[in-house]
Homo-oligomer: A and B are copies of this chain.
């Protein structure tokens, strides 16, 4: 069945339109708007996916799979340090990225699973760094990985807030630009912190360790 000119399955068109709309407007976006984007009736969305929730689940799954694929590709041939340079290429993943940010902001279980993946990755990178002698060991490697991911997540959210206040481009709008702007503002303080720490001596840490044997 070769039907119309460029007719990828309407199912996929619907899913992609949903991902784009959800990413741009959040999960309150209406089915009819999504259907319009996909040049399809609202009823067909239900016909294919059963319900809006199920549609969202399908979007979650597809986004998750896309990210996993992109991540394993990126891991194959790049050192983590220069991945930043590669980030401009992310523009092609714009909708997926925006969707992920919305998902984070929404606070659903899908987002929890996503950050779990990030933490896992960070933990293994850090472990590799420790083994190579470039990263200090930690008493709580998992907690440290979580802290670093929290930094990134928080930076992302704060950039989104800046965008709401008209001070920056929104990650959900133009992910590529937002990411590089974010990086520019974040890298120097981050590197400072990560190489020298914040305090001039270890008295705070010592005091804490005193109380938690």
Which A positions have Cβ atoms within 8 angstroms of B?
28, 81, 104-109, 111-113, 115, 133-136, 138-140, 143-144, 146-158, 160-162, 164-165, 167, 185-205, 208, 212
Contact = CB atoms under 8 A, between A and B. Distances in A.
Integer count of this chain's copies in the complex? 2
Given A186-B147, A200-B135, A157 B165 contact: no
B136 A196 contact: yes
A34 B149 CA distance: 36
Q: Is the interface of A mostly helix, strand, loop or mixed?
A: helix
10 contacts: A107-B164, A138-B192, A144-B192, A146-B185, A149-B154, A188-B208, A194-B197, A195-B202, A196-B202, A197-B197
B147 A155 contact: yes
Given A189-B140, A194-B198, A195-B197, A204 B81 contact: yes
A28 B107 CA distance: 14
A157 B149 CA distance: 11
* Most interface-central of A81, A105, A139, A192 (chain B CB within 10 A): A192
A195 B199 contact: yes
Contact of A198 (B28, B155, B195): B195
A67 to B, nearest CB: 16
Contacts of A212: 188
A154 B189 CA distance: 17
Given A188-B212, A192-B144, A196-B136, A154 B150 contact: yes
Contacts of A105: 105-107
Contact of A157 (B157, B188, B193, B202): B157
